[in-house]
Structure formats: C-alpha cells, structure tokens
Structure 1
Amino acid sequence: MGRRRRAARDDRAHARLVYRTSPRADPLRRARISRPLLLRSLVPRSRIRDENLWPTETSRPCVTVVAHEKCFSERTRMRKSLVGLLVAVVIVVGLPSRSSARQRSSFELWRFIGARYHPQRVLIKRRGMRRPQIVTLRKGEDVLTRLSLLSYEDDIEYAEPDLLYAADRMVPNDPSFANLWGLEMIGAPEAWTVTSGSPDVVVAVIDTGIDYRHPDLRDNIWVNAGEIPGNLRDDDGNGYVDDIYGYNAISPLQPPEDDNRHGTHVAGTIGAVGDNQIGIVGVNWHVRIMALKFLDKDGSGYLSDALEAIDYILTMKRRGVNIRVVNASWGADTYSRALEEAIERLRAEGILFVAAAGNGSTNVRQYPAAYEGVLSVAAVDQNGDLAYFSNYGDWVDLAAPGRSILSTVPGGGYASFSGTSMATPHVVGVAALALSVRNVPLHELRQALRQGVQLVPALAGKVNTGGILDAMGTLRALNADDPAKVCEKDCSPTVSLSASRLVVDDGERVSFTANGSDPDGDPLTYSWKTTAGTLEAGITTATLDTTGVNPTPGAPPVIVVVTVTVEDGRGHSASASRSITVRPPNRPPQVAIEASRTTVQDGFMVFLTARGSDPDGDALTYTWTASAGRLTDSGAAAQLDTTGLNPIPDADPVRVTVSVRASDGRGGDAMAEIEITVTAPPKVSLSAAPASVRLQNKRATFFLAVRKHPSYTGGVALQVVPLDAIPSFTATIAPYRFLTLTHRVTIALASLPAGPQNYRVLVRAQTDDGRTYDSNIVTLVKR
C-alpha cells in the first residue's frame, strides 16, 4: 500500500492521476482525478507508470470518470461510486494507440477551448469528401464532447466546431482626418494615369453585405445577368435563388443587404464610382463588386456560413464570372482546417484572398489572415506608422491606410471608420487595378503587391515586406505602369463580351453585348458567329435562339460558343467568346422524407431529411412546412420541435404533417410529406440506475428516479415486478434524496441456485386512477 501511495504522489505531480484499475474492471470503481482533465491525449504515455492507465491494442474503449476537486480514498470508493458517477463529467478515452497519432494531429481539441462557436453545430469531413458537412447536435449535447467521440472514428479526417467570426471591430475615429488621405498615401492618383479600373474585373466582398442601392456604389455592383429579380426561382441554374447581387449565406432567399455598415464601408474603399460628381471615389473607379453576406447585424458570423459564401464564389467563377480577388475584413484567433481548405480551393481557381490582420495590437496570428497564400494586411496611420490597434508580425505581408478612412455607409451616407478592416480594401482595390491592365496569374499578382510596397523604416520587423501598399509600385512590378510599355503606336483593339444568361434550356434566348475599344481611336467593325443555334446580330449586340440545339430529354448538355471579333481597319483585330450551356427539356425531380422517429413524446425533437433526386442532375432546393410545431430547416435537413404540441398527460396523440417541396430551378417541382405522431407525457415516469447490478450475499441495490408531471397531484404506488423466473424474494423501496434520485430499491433473495444467473426486474408505478407506468429494466447478475 505504501508503494501505491508513493506512485500516486509521483503521478499526481505530472498528470493529476491518482489510480485506476484495469480497463476490464467495473467503470464505477475507477479512481477519480484530483483536477478535471479535459483531454486524455494531453497526458503523454511515457509519463504514466501504471500501464493499466493506457489500453492495449485489444482493449475496448473505457470511460474515465472525472470528478470534482476532492479525491476519494480506496475504502470509500466502492461506497460512493454511484454517487460519484452522477456528479461526474464522463469523457470517452483510451482507444487503441494506432488511433492516437491521428487524433492528436487532426483533433487538437485544446485549440477550441475558450473559442466562440455555435452551441449545436459541428463540421465533419469524412475521408474522400470534397468539403466538410454541417451536423446539428441534439439538445443538451456538448460540442467538445461530441468532437472527442468523433476523433475515434477512422473514416473521419477532421471535425471542428462551427466557429464564430467577427468583423474587425471599428476603432474610435479622429474626425479631423475624415478625408481621403489614404488614396494619396498609396499613390492612387498616379496609378490612375495608367488605369482607373475595368468592369471586367470582379472582386468579392465577404462581409455584412453591401448597400447595393447606394448612389456612389450601385453602378459598380456586380449583377447576375442570368437571374430574374424577385421570382423566387433559380433562373440561371446555379443552385441559388434570386442571387442578383451575390449571396446571403445567413438567409439564402434574401438579398445580401448590409444591416451593419461594415461591408458597405469596405466596398466604398474598393470601388466607389469615380468621376461621378458625388461623394467619394474608391481605389478602383470601374471594378465590379460582388456582395457575400455571412456576418449579421452585430458583425458576427459562423464558419459554416463563410464556407457557403466561398462555395458561391467558386460556383460563379467556374461559370465564367471573372472573380479574381476576395476581401475578408474579419477573423478570429482560432485556426480552422475547413476554412483553410476552402481558401485553398479559391487559390486553385486563381483567386487572391486578402484578409485583415486584426485589431488586437498583438503579434498573435489571426485567421484567415495567417493562412498560407493569403495576403495579410496591417493598418498604418496618416504618418505612415503602424496604427496603435493593428496586429503585426512576420505572418503579416504589408500595411495600408487604416485610420480615419472615409467611405460609404448604408442609406446613401458616408462615415469615417478605423481598423485593419479599412486597410484591407485598399489592397483589394489596387489588385483589381493591376488586373485591369494585365491579366496575370495569382502568384504574379500577389508578388507584385508585395514587391511594389513603399519601404518604411517604422514597419521593419512589423510586417513581412517592411512597407506600405503602393499602387504605382504594384503596376511597375508588373511592367504595367506606363501605357507606352503596353503599346507605343498602331495598337491592337480590345473587346469584351457579356451574356444575359450562361445556362439555358433548349428553346430559350440569350442576349449578348460587346464592348470594344481602340487605343488609337480607330473606328471598329464587329462580326459575330456561333457554333450552334440561330444568331441575330446587330453591331454591338446579338441574340442567340437555342431552339433545336438540344431537344432530346435526358441528353447531355450542349455547349454553344458565341464569338465577337472587332477590327480597326489597320489589320489588327481582337476577339472575345462566351460559352452557353444548353440543357435538354426539363424533367421534374423526385423527393421523399426520412425521419429519425415518427412517434415521439411532447417536447422531443424530430430530425428530418429530404432524399431528393433529379433525372437531369439539377441541383435541388427544398422548402419545408409543418402543420404544427416549430420547424427549422437548412437545405435538405430540418428539425421539428414538438414542445407544447401535446402537453397534457395521457391525452390522445396529436398528428403533425411535415411537407417538403423539391425544386430544380427550371420549373420542375416534387412534393413529399410524412406524419409525425406526438404522444402526451405520462403522469409518472420512472428511471432506474444502474441498468445492471451484482447480487452479493443474495442482495442487490439500485436507485430509482420517480418524476410526477406537474399537473398530477395524486399518489404513486411502487412495486418491483420480476420478468424472469426468480427465487422467492423481498423488495424494499425506501425514500432516498440525491439530485434526481428519489428512492433506493433493495432486493433480497431467499436462495440462489449454483452457477451464473441473470434476473430481470422493473419497477411499476400505479396512479390513483389505476394507470400503470414501468421503469427501464434492471438486470441482477450472479457470477
């Protein structure tokens, strides 16, 4: 015993572990831990002397009971084991060692301790999946506990909470600096002698949304030409309904309007319309700005919604929208692998991700700014010094003006804000300027922004490049600073081509508009051609009739390429093309509903899934309705909260009809419904614990919780009912009060046969009106 105590003291100094029996022992006899231990993987195996503390390759997962501060002695452990179980936190630990390395690398749960996240959602990525899926937890289920359990499933690559991000807070402003000093600092007027931007370049602002009606922004807001406003249909077949100006990840059927001011302010710095005799001017006069909303009116948003916004950008990029830069003026100090992978997908499509370094006055990494390949931006003041609020460090690429920045706000107004949120759009605007002159790959664009900075001694050691954003320096780094370098004389014309829709059904029409220009001022002639369909061409406009291009239902899509060519009369020409996807006539989808349970007691949740399919492979959207209860839905999944539907004990069941409509975005719909039966709660409910007890000296004891519905004020008679042939016995049910336990049940057998034997019993309650209610089954085990 002395050796055991000395070993316990030694181990307690490192891991706070007192003692534990082997994995095969009764879990209730496991010793307590003197301080709560959140993660078993934090205790290195090499420091644990008792090998029983670590399972073998063949051992089963075991349960460690983590108690409060007090340690129990070996003598009192047996007597208080059940009580300790009820007040303990139970954490599953101890899978075979082959899984532990993966757990430590992919499930570093310590990263999320203290982080903010959604209380009932986790993101899970299984092996082979392109992106993680969102899983909603049941009521009362703890996020970190669920993640700990998931870490032992071999097919899961990683899982993390649905982290909460926030727009970088706006630092109090000095109103005397409410002017556009930032544009002068970065050399924007000089760069405008080369280019003031192009509407062919699209930047995406992932933020609180944008006031797309603002007089100084509306002409530069990106518009989805393939969508018809307000008809609640997915006209362009991209899987999103009424995405006219972008996408609202919080409320997908609502436009990405700004209810916070942050996103509109960011957009104004990037691309407030120039030379329009009102308000301000952005870094880029003519860029197109796509609005992505995932931050709410309080400036906070969840990781899952940020991923949805990024998915929208990828969808539109792959459909021909020239999105080249993303502005992310938000972040958190918690790493997310899911967000990092999403940004990597953007980079694979040639899209530069620019993020704010944060306003914590610290060198602690902020994400997404600190991810590899992201251009991270700090803030400087009017003197070129690092702003007092700005984060810094070798993970920050460069700095830009971020204090007292005047820009647009919702409602047609203007205001001055401060923060790295205000510095970031300066960089995005310059990136779009450079792309309007030279359509360079992502790595060249990022390098030019870094290489072109103005070196400032005060920033040495604060940001990686040691400098401030320089618009003209960026153009020089791309050899695009002087128009003469692009063309000295007798220059070739340029032309761009836009289409009203990119995906249509056979028989629909598409309108095209060409925009040609010539550096020499030569008049241009336009010629049009198409690979299929009938093209009605004017000078700068044309209309494609797709009738007969793809008339057979079920056939694969047909790609039609429309090309416009401009000539300047000197032998120079330029061409631009648009690819139009022509689908066959639409066939409607099919849908069915699966429910976690079709009969539940009042107050329980029902989880529903729509199983939809479309013969044409179209993406489906789902609309849910319920005849009663509170229904929340997210795409193909929904949850029905039955609380209050049938609250009176022993009342007749209530039936709820849940319906879902699946729409393919092309006019095809399908309906399905399911009936959920909601039963009333009992007047009395019984719960016995533990479910298995050992017979010792022909006696067994377990505990019983008896709960009466608040509306029932009568009495309850209790009796033990055997379910198996059992020797003569007596049962004593005595009052007992501890937490939810109300009774102690003791069973004494008159005799016991030789050999192992199990006996099943339950406790039955009878109310004054003669109704009976049974507990769960308890097994009496004789070894």
Structure 2
Amino acid sequence: MALGAATALAAVAVPVTAGPAVAESAQCEYPGRPYKGRPWSLQRVLLDELWEQSTGKGVKVAVIDTGVDIRHPQLKAAVDAKNGLNLLPAKNKKGEKLERGAANGTSDEVGHGTKVAGIIAARSAPGTGFVGLAPGATIIPIKQNDAEGNGDAASLTEAINEAVDRGAGVINISQDTANAVAPARSLEHAVKRALNEGVVVVASAGNDGLGGNVKKTYPASYEGVLAVASSDRNNERAAFSQSGDFVGVAAPGIDMITTVPLRGHCADNGTSFSAPYVAAVAALVKAKHPDWTPRQIVAQIQQTAERSTPGHDRLVGWGVVDPVRALTEDERPIERPVAQEGLTKGEAPSPARFDLGETAEERNSRLATYVVIGGGVLVATIGGAAVALRDARRRSSRVAGG
C-alpha cells in the first residue's frame, strides 16, 4: 500500500509511486530566495492580536511527511530533533534497501514536509515577513514518505502511533488515499487511538476536485479527523480542492509561501498546505485550553470559521478558518458547531389598537384636555392684549409731551 506525500496512499498491496500533495505546483529551488513581504495568507490575520491569546507554546505538532530540514534558520529552533523519527528504509550506495535508517526525520529531499512544518511553526526571522501561525509550537518530524512512494498505509499507521507515544498534541497528515479507497482498518484504529489520547488529528481533503468529483478521502474521512479543503483569496473553494460532506473547514491553499530545505522560501498550492494552517490554529487553541478535548477544539475551529451560508456545505465545510475568532470567541467549549449561529427566532409584532368609537371615560378625558388647553390659550390671549394696551398708552403720552 504505497503512499505519496500529496495524493496517494495506496489501498492495494502493490507499491504505487506518487508525487507530493500539491496542485499544479511551481518548481521550487533548494535553497530558495527569501520572501521579504508578508504572504497574503498571513495578511488576513491580525497576528499581534492572535499571539496575545496564544503562540502554541508547549504544544507538539507531529508532521507525518517527508521529513523536516532543520538546516533552515526558521525551523532549527522549532523542531524537536530528539523525538524525530525516520520510518523509511535506508539504502546503500547501490540503492539496495537495508535496515531502517537511524535518522531522526530531520532531512527532507522532497521538500514537502519542510513546507508543511514552516506553515505551522516557523520562527520569525529578519529579512522576511513569513512566519508560522503558531511560532511557539514544536514540530515532531516523522519521516514516513518520499518521492519514490516508499510510504504506505502500514507505515502511516505506525507513524500515527509513534506520534502519540512521543507526546504530540496535534498530528498533521498532508496526504490521502489513491482512488479514494479506504485502506486497512489498522489505520482507522490508529486514528481512533490518537483521538482517545487527546490528540487533534488534521488531514488534507485532497486535490482531486477539478472535475467536480465528490468523494471521500482517507484518513481525512475518518470520524473525528478535521478534514481541510483549500480556499483562495476570496474565501472560496480553490478549483482543485476536494469536495464532500466530510470536509470540516477550508484554509488558504493558493500561492502558499513557506520554508524550503536549506534556506529561503517558495510558493506552492494544494490542500497539503491548507491542513497545516489549520493544524497551527489547533495548536494555538490547545495551548490556551489544554483541558479541551479534540472534539471541542475541532468544533471551536468550525464554529468560528467565516462562512457565507448558515451551516455546513460540501465545498468549504463550516467555512474558512478564522484564527483570531477561534482564539477570542472561546468563552466555553462546545461539542459541535451550530448552524445559523446568531440567528434567533423573532417575536411576532403586537397589532396596533384600532377602535371605531370611544368610551365615556375616554370622552371625558378628551374634553378635560380641551378645557385645559383652551384655558391656557385664553389666559395667553388676555395677557397679550393687556401688554399691547399698556404699550399703546405709553406711546401716546410720549407724543403728547414731545
């Protein structure tokens, strides 16, 4: 059951080669040029306000991928190399497979895992506006895949179990099954174990959406997993993003600036880079609310997402994730998102009173009002006439004496 970093976790017993979990990816150079500005995916977030609430400090995020290159200056301090793991078979110079390598997952020939890790927890650095959404979180690199498709469902299962054993609070899986076929039940059991241990599991929804396909992908479709689709600058589904009822939320996945092996940055596309955006938010929430369950953290992210419809849809789930709202509208934990949030049932207006006649009491009250008003007018009239008469007499006296 071969597995690729982008779109292929083979569900058959024959190895399947697959490329990275990206959509129409641009060719990146390693090392890359530094990106000096602030990427659009970060411009949409008030980072100072976000980090006043949480930076993800104390939360470990397992990146099950192609490894994470710690030579990148923004990742060296972000990666827990001692807890890293390489599940790929080692090879000799002739390319012959030997026993499993002893490396700790801190090398990345593909670059995919390094990009994913940067979106989550890259530290700030001079000369660039790029930074991870959770710059206080720690990455556990678990190298389980490569460009040759050596990863499979069995190694992914092992990787999830190892992530739990190594203290991960969040697991990011930016890969899915080939042909949307459910793999062996052992993978589902590993996911359930992680959730039961209090670990939030985030997975990419997949990039097979160009043809309008609506189908489940795995492990994103497993119950409890937060499946992430890709959104564009308009908060709409990216054309390549997989649709389906299993989609939980969407996150930026177009022109995603992030770290690459050695140093520098590169832009890439795909749900592979939307998932870590959400995994970072999960780390932020978990750091602020360490007693919340995975279900409550997922519900919080879904409830506070930006959406144009009252509830869930198959394109972007509950909407496009809003990191600041997820950290500030958090008075109490919820178990599931609620459709039509903020809409309450209005009370019917009271009908206006319309009488065709009046009672004796009402007539007496009306006449009394008229008397009072009329008396006031009479007093004012008499007073005005007296003043006028007095002024006229004074003028006559002055003329006579002039």
SS at match of 1:218: coil
Q: Does 1:402 align with 2:258?
A: no
1:680-695 matches, cutoff 5 A: none
Q: Does 1:255 align with 2:104?
A: yes
Q: Does 1:468 align with 2:344?
A: no
CA-to-aligned-CA distance 1:365-409 (integer Å, 9 cap, x gap) = 111111111000000111211101001121100100000000001
Residues 298 and 171 (structure 1 numbering): CA distance in 2 closer, same or farther, change over 3 Å? farther
SS at match of 1:454: coil
Deviation at 1:163, TM superposition (A): 7.9
Deviation at 1:187, TM superposition (A): 4.7
Contact map agreement 1:381 1:403 (CA 8 A) in 2: yes
> Residue 335 of structure 1 corresponds to which residue in structure 2?
182
Deviation at 1:116, TM superposition (A): 5.7
Residues 353 and 289 (structure 1 numbering): CA distance in 2 closer, same or farther, change over 3 Å? same
> Residue 262 of structure 2 corresponds to which residue in structure 1?
411
Q: Does 1:310 align with 2:160?
A: yes
Aligned AA (1:290) = I
State which of 75, 84, 89 in structure 2 corresponds to 1:245.
84
1:619-634 matches, cutoff 5 A: none
> Residue 55 of structure 2 corresponds to which residue in structure 1?
196
Aligned AA (1:291) = P
Deviation at 1:466, TM superposition (A): 3.4
CA-to-aligned-CA distance 1:610-645 (integer Å, 9 cap, x gap) = xxxxxxxxxxxxxxxxxxxxxxxxxxxxxxxxxxxx
Deviation at 1:288, TM superposition (A): 0.4
Residues 375 and 334 (structure 1 numbering): CA distance in 2 closer, same or farther, change over 3 Å? same
CA distance in 2, matches of 1:300, 1:388: 29
Aligned AA (1:180) = P
Aligned AA (1:330) = Q
> Residue 206 of structure 1 corresponds to which residue in structure 2?
64
Residues 460 and 311 (structure 1 numbering): CA distance in 2 closer, same or farther, change over 3 Å? closer
Residues 252 and 300 (structure 1 numbering): CA distance in 2 closer, same or farther, change over 3 Å? closer
State which of 134, 159, 180 in structure 2 corresponds to 1:284.
134
RMSD between aligned residues: 2.9
CA-to-aligned-CA distance 1:405-453 (integer Å, 9 cap, x gap) = 0000101121000000010111011111112222122221111111111
CA distance in 1, matches of 2:247, 2:71: 34
CA distance in 1, matches of 2:38, 2:294: 32
Residues 284 and 385 (structure 1 numbering): CA distance in 2 closer, same or farther, change over 3 Å? same
Aligned AA (1:287) = A
Contact map agreement 1:384 1:456 (CA 8 A) in 2: no
CA-to-aligned-CA distance 1:279-312 (integer Å, 9 cap, x gap) = 4201011110000111113466211211221221
What's the % identity of the aligned pairs?
31
SS at match of 1:468: coil
CA distance in 2, matches of 1:300, 1:331: 14
Provide the TM-score with structure 2 as the length reference: 0.68
Contact map agreement 1:271 1:287 (CA 8 A) in 2: yes
**Unmatched runs of 5 consecutive residues or more in structure 1:** 1-113, 120-161, 225-243, 481-783
Contact map agreement 2:54 2:284 (CA 8 A) in 1: yes
Deviation at 1:460, TM superposition (A): 6.2
CA distance in 2, matches of 1:197, 1:272: 12
Deviation at 1:260, TM superposition (A): 0.4
Contact map agreement 1:407 1:414 (CA 8 A) in 2: yes
Deviation at 1:278, TM superposition (A): 4.4
Aligned AA (1:447) = A
Aligned AA (1:191) = L
Q: Does 1:183 align with 2:42?
A: yes
> Residue 393 of structure 1 corresponds to which residue in structure 2?
244
Aligned AA (1:335) = A
Contact map agreement 1:273 1:285 (CA 8 A) in 2: yes
Residues 269 and 458 (structure 1 numbering): CA distance in 2 closer, same or farther, change over 3 Å? farther
CA distance in 2, matches of 1:195, 1:404: 26
Contact map agreement 1:164 1:302 (CA 8 A) in 2: no
CA distance in 1, matches of 2:111, 2:53: 32
CA distance in 2, matches of 1:182, 1:300: 32
Contact map agreement 2:54 2:287 (CA 8 A) in 1: yes
CA distance in 2, matches of 1:458, 1:277: 42
CA distance in 2, matches of 1:465, 1:381: 14
> Residue 219 of structure 1 corresponds to which residue in structure 2?
77
State which of 412, 416, 432 in structure 1 corresponds to 2:283.
432
Contact map agreement 2:64 2:143 (CA 8 A) in 1: yes
Residues 430 and 115 (structure 1 numbering): CA distance in 2 closer, same or farther, change over 3 Å? closer
Deviation at 1:223, TM superposition (A): 3.6
CA distance in 1, matches of 2:313, 2:216: 15
Contact map agreement 2:64 2:172 (CA 8 A) in 1: yes
CA-to-aligned-CA distance 1:165-224 (integer Å, 9 cap, x gap) = 764234245999x951112335544312322331x1100000011002210101111143
CA-to-aligned-CA distance 1:444-472 (integer Å, 9 cap, x gap) = 11111111111135996334743100111
More helix by share: 2
Worse overlay, 350-359 or 278-287:
278-287
1:112-131 matches, cutoff 5 A: 117-119=12-14
> Residue 655 of structure 1 corresponds to which residue in structure 2?
none
SS at match of 1:397: strand
Residues 312 and 172 (structure 1 numbering): CA distance in 2 closer, same or farther, change over 3 Å? closer
User: What is the count of residue pairs matched by the alignment?
Assistant: 300
Q: Does 1:357 align with 2:205?
A: yes
CA distance in 2, matches of 1:458, 1:187: 24
CA distance in 1, matches of 2:232, 2:133: 17
SS at match of 1:379: strand
Residues 115 and 324 (structure 1 numbering): CA distance in 2 closer, same or farther, change over 3 Å? closer
Contact map agreement 1:260 1:299 (CA 8 A) in 2: no
Contact map agreement 2:11 2:182 (CA 8 A) in 1: no
1:404-553 matches, cutoff 5 A: 404-439=255-290, 440-457=292-309, 461-463=313-315, 465-479=317-331
State which of 108, 114, 125 in structure 2 corresponds to 1:264.
114
CA distance in 2, matches of 1:458, 1:266: 31
> Residue 195 of structure 2 corresponds to which residue in structure 1?
347
CA distance in 2, matches of 1:191, 1:261: 28
CA distance in 2, matches of 1:174, 1:469: 28
CA distance in 2, matches of 1:118, 1:253: 26
Deviation at 1:248, TM superposition (A): 3.2
Residues 451 and 172 (structure 1 numbering): CA distance in 2 closer, same or farther, change over 3 Å? same
**Unmatched runs of 5 consecutive residues or more in structure 2:** 1-8, 29-34, 90-99, 333-402
More strand by share: 1
Residues 301 and 186 (structure 1 numbering): CA distance in 2 closer, same or farther, change over 3 Å? farther
CA distance in 2, matches of 1:341, 1:252: 26
Provide the TM-score with structure 1 as the length reference: 0.36
> Residue 171 of structure 2 corresponds to which residue in structure 1?
326
CA distance in 2, matches of 1:367, 1:434: 25
SS at match of 1:268: helix
CA distance in 2, matches of 1:370, 1:169: 19
1:722-737 matches, cutoff 5 A: none
